[in-house]
Chains A and B, each alone.
Chain A
Amino acid sequence: MGATGTTLPASAGAPEHRASVITRFFSRENRYLPPLFITLILVVGQAKFGLLESFSRTALAIATSMILDMLLARLVLGKWPNLASAYITGISVGILIRSPAFWPYALCSAYGITSKYAIRWRGRHLFNPSNLAISAMLLLVPEYIAALSIQWGNDVWPLIIVWILGALIVWRVRRFHITLTYVLSFIAFSALRSLVVGDSFLAEVAPITGPMYQLFIFFMITDPRTTVKSFRGQCLVAFLVAAMEMVLRLGGSINAPFYALTIVGPIALAIDIWRRSKATPPVPVAAIAAR
């Protein structure tokens, strides 16, 4: 979660007149689908469960994210950005961190957006912006923030609804295999951890029933801008994130999923970019920068 919705395919430039409005809305070309869904989660979650620290803090995260993205895109790339990406970064920060203070929301958004422009290789940013930002905040200012820990109430229905809707969205944007691979890996690693540490399997698998993981698996690890290109590669990376997370969990890391993605994601992406650059002729600088 953090970069954008989906990458447009080559044919996406022409309008699909025959498709109905609903079909187009739920098409994978609609890069606003994930942000809309996250917004829906946010509004319903806040109304029903008090998911956020407050709307104003989330608004601050979103505003910081969008304003900084406009400034840096103009300054660094010389163009105005599509703000869907910044919106997702901001709203992710607003949902996923919890702090009684306001400034962490602005600072976290600033970390995410700035990293997009400051840490680039061959024209692409390597880190998922909100993931890197949250990891940095958890490492640098843990006194003031925590990752989302609030639950979806105490019955199972909100959980089921989020899972169904989330699965539908990522399926529509052709990333369901990433989520599925990660979930299956997490469950398998939970069983393994249970054997290793002696705690019950249910205790080990419990975290994935919480909302933080649902946002993580549906929107963060599936981010098109910071995942590798191939189907197999994406599955492999999802598995490696889960594996890294298990290692971190065995070391008692509470925020293991964020750290695991921060470690594995950029390495995998860098390797992917390097391999592809070897296999294909060089691309003009302007085209790279436009990505």
Chain B
Amino acid sequence: MEQAVKPSRTVQIGLAIFFVGLLAAPVVYKRYQRSEASSAAKMSKAQALSRYGFYLQESSKASGIDFVHQAPTLDVKLSHIMNLVASMGAAVSIVDFDRDGWEDIYVVNSKPGSRNALYRNLGNGKFRDVAAEVGLADVNLPGTGVSTGAVWGDYDNDGYEDVLIYKWGKPELFHNDRGKHFTRVTEQAGLPSWLNANTALWFDYDNDGKLDLFIGGYYPEYLDLWHLKTTKMMPNSFEYADNGGRKYLFHNLGNGRFEEVSAKLGINSRRWSLAAVAADLRGTGYPDLFIANDYGVSELYLNEGGKGFREAGKEAGVGFSPKSGMTASVGDILNRGQFDVYVSNISEEGVLVQGNNLWMPKPGASTKAIRYDNMANTFGVELGGWSFGAQFADLNNDGFLDLYVATGNVSLDHGRSYWYDYSKIAGGNQAIISDAANWPPLEGRSLSGYQHKRVWINDGEGRFKEVAQMVGVKDVYDGRSVAMADFENRGALDVVVANQRGPLLLYKNTVAPGRHWIEFQLEGQRSNRSAIGAEVRVFWAGQEQLQQVSGGSGFCSQNERRLHFGLGSGTAVDRVEIRWPSGTKQTLAHPAIDEIHNVEEPL
């Protein structure tokens, strides 16, 4: 055995300096980063426009929007953790419900007796709430549950967008009577009498030209959250919970009725779903279904030719590491002509650093199989606090999709946090965690509250930069649902954010001059008339960007159906390829830029 020696004084001193240096390195680096961020946050609007190419001005009041979300109040047995269990419900979706060419806003409320609002876009920068006039306001009557979201789709192909309002309670389907009034058709449609859902979307899974409907349960559907028989209704694990709400897949029979086919088609899950998005991820021509689940792994249901679904989350790499999925959005972030998927999760300093996921397809994906890598860290879109809704959109019209993430969970007392108690219970065995009676009382404390939002701009080369503070997004409400629309038909995407127990915010977007754009308003003929599922590829200046018309994405939200493409300094579009859900392919040669194009599916 070798003889050890006593280290010399020089070695000892050198070692001490090395150790202290190691300890100091991250502290010094953090200080440097903070001082940079602090000086950047003081940037003026003109500087932000010049540097980042856009600026977001909160304009809800000036636009006539004065909506404030009211949270649910559930059974008194949950009163000690009420703000925690009732921390969702704020949701927003975009629709042109009266086909006047201006995008409108529908926002839901969640207190029993509270009213939802439909803000009609008057075309002059102002909005007016017409929900009561058209019959969409009073949908949260005591005993019927409360709204948690709404998605729009023309299920009967009459040219007007109908709406499903999903709830913790009785879901409601309303038929749009030519933009003048809405008629409740829930019973005729065959929807269930009660569920506790936090996500839904319209899609035509079998491409038969009629929109089908997916609804994802959160709390189990057999629970009436206002009349609980037991407090054993919480997730049975923080990471492997399988006692949540069931999933529904309603096949559109075409006569105003729907048939529930989830089990028949292979969707069997009781995970706690918070978000879903449908998109043709493999180029099969049929939309796959990606579900982000709280308290567990995400699920990826591959569409097998419209005849069934196969869960392939693990196989694809997205269903392995359990997190707290709260949004599911798709976007072609590198202009590769492929969809990437973004899922938001929780990151809290020193407690729970799940990180958000940016799932990018690995090379070699085929119609049979697809595998993903999580590139969120590499691309710099990973740490977003307690992230909820997120949407991709080209906010600065530079030709690359940016990312807006709403954050913040429960903001109550500023200086008192519930995280310590939350961490106690979250790590416990199922017998402990699943009973709400074991959960320590919230007592007015915050849980990841008062968080700044994330607005990540995409450099197109594999990095995103966080610029929220610099471009005018400075609110710290508990952000939930994010939706994008060009409300003034001027080629700039505005941002609407629904906040839990907070105001509906409208961030109007100013884009720097010299950046071009093009937009497409699609209408199906053989395909569903909303054109949900239609894919548009724009080719310009050596770039190719893919977008699709979506029937719901993000967290409890839906963007405008119109598709917006930023073109940067590009002054011409080479061609546009449209693939309709029916399979019809259409090419537009050299469409004019800086215009909205209305495109009908060719027969």
Residues of A within 8 A of B (CB): 49-50, 53, 72, 75-80, 98-101, 107, 110-111, 114-115, 117-119, 136, 138, 140-147, 149-151, 153-156, 159, 197, 199-200, 202-204, 206-207, 209-210, 212-213, 249, 252-255, 285-286, 289-290
- Other A-B pairs beyond A80-B2, A141-B30, A206-B438, 16, CB < 8 Å: A78-B4, A79-B2, A146-B348, A149-B351, A150-B239, A151-B429, A154-B236, A154-B242, A156-B430, A199-B440, A204-B424, A209-B428, A209-B429, A252-B417, A286-B4, A286-B6
The one of B30, B240, B350, B352 that contacts A154, using a Cβ cutoff of 8 Å: B240
- Specify which of B2, B354, B420, B441 is in contact with A253 (CB 8 Å cutoff): B420
Chain A's closest residue to B437 (CB) is A200
How far apart are the CA atoms of A140 and B28 in the complex, in Å?
A: 10
Cβ-based interface call for B372 (8 A): no
5 CB contacts below 8 A, A to B, read A53-B321, A100-B382, A147-B350, A206-B429, A289-B6
Is B350 a contact of A146 with CB atoms below 8 Å? yes
Instruction: Tell me whether B428 and A143 are in contact (CB under 8 A).
Output: no
Neighbouring A residues of B11 by C-beta, 8 Å:
75-76
Q: Does B122 contact A (CB under 8 A)?
A: no
Decide if A79 touches B240 in the complex (CB within 8 Å). Answer: no
Query: Do B15 and A117 touch across chains, with their CB atoms under 8 A apart?
Result: yes
CB of A286 within 8 A of CB of B3, answer yes
Q: B353 and A206: CB pair below 8 A?
A: no
**Cβ of B433: which chain A residues have Cβ within 8 Å of it?**
206
Residues from chain B with Cβ under 8 Å of A78 in the complex:
2-5
Does A212 lie within 8 Å of B423, measured CB to CB? no
Closest chain A CB from B73 CB (angstroms): 23
CB contact between A100 and one of B6, B377, B425 (< 8 Å): that residue: B377
| Chain B residues engaging chain A, CB cutoff 8 angstroms | 1-7, 11-12, 15-16, 18-19, 22-23, 25-27, 30, 236-242, 297, 320-322, 348-355, 376-377, 382-383, 417, 419-421, 423-433, 437-441
B27 touches A101 (CB 8 A): no
B23–A79 touching, CB < 8 Å? no
A-B CB proximity, top 9 nearest: A206-B428, A142-B350, A154-B237, A210-B427, A100-B355, A289-B4, A142-B349, A118-B19, A78-B5
Known: A151-B239, A207-B427. A76 touches B15 (CB 8 A): yes
Which A residues lie within 8 Å of B321 (CB)? 50, 53
User: Which one of A101, A155, A207 lies within 8 Å of B430 (CB-CB)?
Assistant: A155
State whether B419 touches A254 (Cβ < 8 A): yes
Q: Are A254 and B27 in contact (CB under 8 A)?
A: no
Known: A100-B355, A118-B16, A151-B237. A203 touches B432 (CB 8 A): yes
**Which of A101, A111, A149, A212 has the most C-beta atoms of chain B within 10 angstroms of its own C-beta?**
A149
Output the least CB separation between B376 and chain A (Å): 7
A99 — nearest CB in chain B belongs to which residue? B353
Question: In the complex the two chains form, is A114's CB within 8 Å of B237's CB?
Answer: no
Query: Which listed residue, B322, B421, B423, touches A199 by the CB 8 Å rule?
Result: B421
Q: Which residues of A contact B424 (CB under 8 A)?
A: 199, 203-204, 206-207
Tell me, rounded to whole Å, the shortest Cβ–Cβ distance linking B300 to chain A. 16
A contact residues around B421 at 8 Å (CB): 199, 203
CB distance from B21 to the nearest CB of A (A): 10
B352 to chain A, nearest CB (A): 5
In the assembled complex, which residues on chain B have CB atoms less than 8 Å from the CB atom of A151? 237-240, 427, 429
Nearest B residue to A80 via CB reads B2
Q: Are B19's CB and A149's CB within 8 A?
A: no
Known: A111-B22, A154-B240. A203 touches B4 (CB 8 A): no
Docked Cα-Cα span, A177 to B437, in Å, equals 34
Chain A residues near B3: list those with CB within 8 A.
78-79, 286, 290
Query: In the complex, what's the smallest C-beta–C-beta distance from A154 to chain B, in angstroms?
Result: 3
Q: How many Å from the CB of B446 to the closest CB on chain A?
A: 13
Tell me the complex Cα distance, A170–B559, Å. Answer: 57
Residues of B near A207 (CB, < 8 A) are 423-424, 427-428
On chain A, the residues within 8 Å of B19 by CB distance are: 114-115, 118-119
Q: A99, A138, A200: which contacts B438 (Cβ < 8 A)?
A: A200
Q: Please report the C-alpha to C-alpha distance between residue A206 and residue B238 in the assembled complex, in whole angstroms.
A: 12
- Residue of B at shortest CB range from A190? B424
Whole-angstrom distance from the CB of A234 to the nearest CB of chain B?
26
Residues of B within 8 A of A213 (CB): 427
Which residues from A are CB-within-8-Å of B354?
Answer: 100
Q: Which residues of B contact A110 (CB under 8 A)?
A: 22
* C-alpha spacing A34/B149, complex, angstroms: 52
B5:A286 contact, CB within 8 angstroms: yes
Complex Cα spacing A53 to B382, Å: 14
Please indicate the chain B residues that have their CB under 8 angstroms from the CB of A101 in the complex: 377
- Given known pairs A138-B350, A143-B349, A200-B437, the reply for A107 and B425 (CB within 8 Å) is no
In the complex, which residue of chain B has the Cβ closest to the Cβ of A77? B4
Which residues from A are CB-within-8-Å of B429?
151, 154, 156, 159, 206, 209
Name the contact of B320 in the complex, choosing from A50, A149, A155, A285 (C-beta under 8 A): A50
Residue with the highest number of chain A CB atoms closer than 10 Å, among B25, B237, B321: B321
Question: Complex Cα distance A193/B25, Å?
Answer: 38
Contacts A98-B353, A114-B19: A203 and B376 contacting too (C-beta < 8 A)? no
The distance in angstroms between the C-alpha atoms of A151 and B431, with both chains bound, is 13
User: Is B352 in contact with A146, judged by CB distance below 8 angstroms?
Assistant: yes
Indicate if the CB atoms of B5 and A143 lie closer than 8 Å. no
Q: Please give me the residue from chain A that is nearest to B426 by CB atom.
A: A149
Q: Is B353 in contact with A107, judged by CB distance below 8 angstroms?
A: no
Measured CB to CB, the closest approach of chain A to B415, in angstroms, equals 12
Interface contact B427-A209, CB-CB below 8 Å: yes
Q: Kindly identify which residue among A80, A144, A206, A254 contacts B432, using a CB–CB cutoff of 8 Å.
A: A206
Partner of A254 from B1, B355, B420 at Cβ < 8 Å? B420
A289 contacts across to B, CB distance below 8 A? 4-6
Using known A-B contacts A77-B4, A111-B22, A203-B439, determine if residue A140 contacts B27 with beta carbons closer than 8 Å.
yes
- Which of B351, B376, B383: most chain A Cβ within 10 A? B351
C-alpha spacing A49/B355, complex, angstroms: 18
Instruction: Let me know if A114 and B18 touch, CB within 8 A.
Output: yes
- With contacts A107-B22, A204-B424 taken as known, whether A285 is within 8 angstroms of B27 at the C-beta atoms is no
Query: Which B residue's beta carbon lies closest to that of A79?
Result: B2
B231 CB → nearest A CB, Å = 11
CB contacts (< 8 Å) of A136 on chain B: these are 23
CB < 8 Å: which of B377, B419, B428 contacts A210?
B428
Which residues does chain A contribute within 8 Å of B350, judged by CB atoms? 138, 142-143, 145-147, 254-255
Closest Cβ of chain B to A136, distance in Å, is 6
What's the nearest-Cβ distance from chain A to residue B221, in Å? 20
Contacts of A98 in B (CB 8 A): 353
CB distance from A106 to the nearest CB of B (A): 11
Q: When chains A and B are docked, how far (Å) is the Cα of A156 from the Cα of B237?
A: 11
Contacts of B240 in A (CB 8 A): 49, 151, 153-154
Q: Find out whether the CB atom of A212 lies under 8 angstroms from the CB atom of B427.
A: yes
Nearest residue in A to B16 (C-beta to C-beta)?
A118
A209 touches B432 (CB 8 A): yes
A118–B18 touching, CB < 8 Å: yes
Chain A residues near B16 (CB-CB < 8 A): 118
In the bound assembly, the distance between CA atoms of A114 and B23 in angstroms comes to 11
With known contacts A50-B321, A100-B353, A154-B237, A206–B425 Cβ distance under 8 A = yes
Question: Contacts A78-B4, A100-B353 known; A50 to B322 CB distance under 8 Å?
Answer: yes
A111 proximity list for chain B (CB < 8 A):
22-23
Chain A residue nearest to B374 (CB atoms) is: A100
Closest CB in chain B relative to A138 CB, distance in Å: 5
With known contacts A118-B18, A286-B3, A149–B423 Cβ distance under 8 A: yes
Least CB distance from B416 to A in Å reads: 9
Contact A290:B4 (CB < 8 A) given known A50-B322, A150-B322: yes
- For B5, B424, B438, the residue with the greatest tally of chain A CB atoms inside 10 Å of its CB is B424
Q: Kindly list chain A residues whose C-beta atoms are within 8 Å of the C-beta of B349.
A: 142-143
Contacts of B241 in A (CB 8 A): 154
A146 touching B353 in the complex, CB below 8 Å, given contacts A72-B15, A203-B428:
yes
Q: Cβ of B30: which chain A residues have Cβ within 8 Å of it? A: 141, 143
Residue in B1, B353, B437 whose CB lies within 8 Å of A145: B353
Report the Cα distance A271→B325, complex, angstroms: 49
